[in-house]
Structure 1
Amino acid sequence: MACDPKIANRLKRAEGQIRGILKMMDDDKSCQEIMPQLMAVRSSVDKVMGLVVAENLRHCLDENGAESDEKIEEALKMITKL
């Protein structure tokens, strides 16, 4: 699966947030200051997961045949694991 530029940008943003959190921890910031940043990273990763599954599902729906049905079932299983 080729990386969609939108997904890559979101992951790079999350990477930057994580680096910021590490710096906050090195700077002995309080838990109250760090937790919102951690929640933002989690939300960002959740959105990326949704985009990846949606893209996979779109790809599966574009194909025809039994193999497509299997791929759609796999995509649905990924969604339920989210």
Structure 2
Amino acid sequence: MEYPQDMKNRLRRVEGQVRGIIRMMEEDKDCKDVITQLSAVRAAIDRTIGYVVAKNLEHCIRMQAEKGESAEEVINEAVKLIVKSR
């Protein structure tokens, strides 16, 4: 599966957030502000995981359908990926 640009863009935004948090720490910013930003990064990563799994699931189900095969195994694998990421 070729990863779409919007997936990469999501991760680049997260990367920028992490760099910002490091800068905040280097500037001895308030702990509450750092934690707030860390929580935002975690939420962004969780949303990205969900998006990647959903797009991969969509792609795999289409491939299975084209082959005339059941998508049940692909769906079960996607569910395991989502549960594992929690």
TM-score normalized with structure 2 length:
0.83
| Cross-structure match for 1:76 | 79
Gap runs ≥5 in structure 1: none
Between the aligned partners of 1:26 and 1:42, the Cα distance in structure 2 is 20
Aligned residues between the structures: 81
Between the aligned partners of 1:43 and 1:4, the Cα distance in structure 2 is 20
TM-score normalized with structure 1 length:
0.87
Structure 1 stretches of at least 4 aligned residues deviating more than 4 Å after TM superposition: none
Between the aligned partners of 2:27 and 2:83, the Cα distance in structure 1 is 39
Question: Identical aligned pairs, as a percentage?
Answer: 46
Gap runs ≥5 in structure 2: none
